[in-house]
Structure 1
């Protein structure tokens, strides 16, 4: 019974952490790469096509913003390997954050961007957000991008 109550409490906390589910259509479509939306796991990827990625931005702090402001985020990266870099999916951690992958593979030596946005409406206080990226990279296909923003609430 104790385990059941603890599990229920964790689910309730997770649901409360990001109550805005209205952005689902935008964030759900944003996580799909136009390159190959069917590849979702390492089992389906030919490891001979793997390459290297260097994150130029992977942890950002946007400081203070006023509640209701939309924060645009970008994460820069460089393909430091020998094969084209393919971002298979970009998945925001919750519905208040949206993100989109690059539209084309990034050639060796070139840089790319992952663009996102955060809707601060109804989210006063410190917000630590994550965007999960899956790519054809050596050493692991999964990458986590993080950003922080302090939302100053409006007084009623």
Structure 2
């Protein structure tokens, strides 16, 4: 036990003595300026602002494909890059733009729904981008009447 304490003490003394060099004298001023510019640019982020985050297709017949476009604007101060867009199931297919969206510019996200399911159907689309939040959630919904069956009436939901 005494040997361990002695060894740790010697290591601590050696570490303190070895750090006599002044690290501040080794700083290159031009590197500090470059780092400050890089840090300022890293704080610039895109912001994805959608015209609507939910779309209601109304009443459709089962198996009827429908589609909608979610329009958005990059209201931030850096280019917006969408890295992924996925839906909560395979019946909904989002198609995001491939190119970056410049600040102040608009973009469109096409969403196709194949009309599967019955009655009230709600699907979510998760859009992953280089925004501060990292992802945005969109929703589509429809009331799907079964094929070759009696049409059911959509019951309005209370908000």
TM > 0.5: yes
Task: Provide the rounded CA distance (Å) in 1 between the counterparts of 2:86 and 2:115.
Answer: 18
- Structure 1: gaps of 5 or more residues: 1-45
The residue that corresponds to 2:91 in the other structure is 96
* Equivalent in 62, 78, 85 of residue 83 of structure 1: 78
The residue that corresponds to 2:121 in the other structure is 127
Q: Give how far 1:101 is off.
A: 1.2
Q: Give how far 1:49 is off.
A: 5.3
Moved over 6 A (4+): none
TM-score of the superposed pair, with normalisation by structure 2: 0.64
Greater RCO between the two (CA within 8 Å, min separation 6)?
1
Q: Give how far 1:154 is off.
A: 1.7
Does the aligned pair in 1 maintain the 2:77–2:103 contact within 8 Å? yes
Task: Provide the rounded CA distance (Å) in 1 between the counterparts of 2:68 and 2:138.
Answer: 11
The residue that corresponds to 1:37 in the other structure is none
Task: Provide the rounded CA distance (Å) in 2 between the counterparts of 1:136 and 1:118.
Answer: 26
Correspondence 1:1-156 to 2 at 5 A: 47-48=42-43, 50-121=45-116, 123-138=117-132, 140-155=133-148
Q: How many residues align?
A: 109
Q: Give how far 1:129 is off.
A: 0.4
- 1:31-68 CA deviation, whole Å, 9 max, x = no partner? xxxxxxxxxxxxxxx95452112111211111011111
- Structure 2: gaps of 5 or more residues: 1-40, 150-159
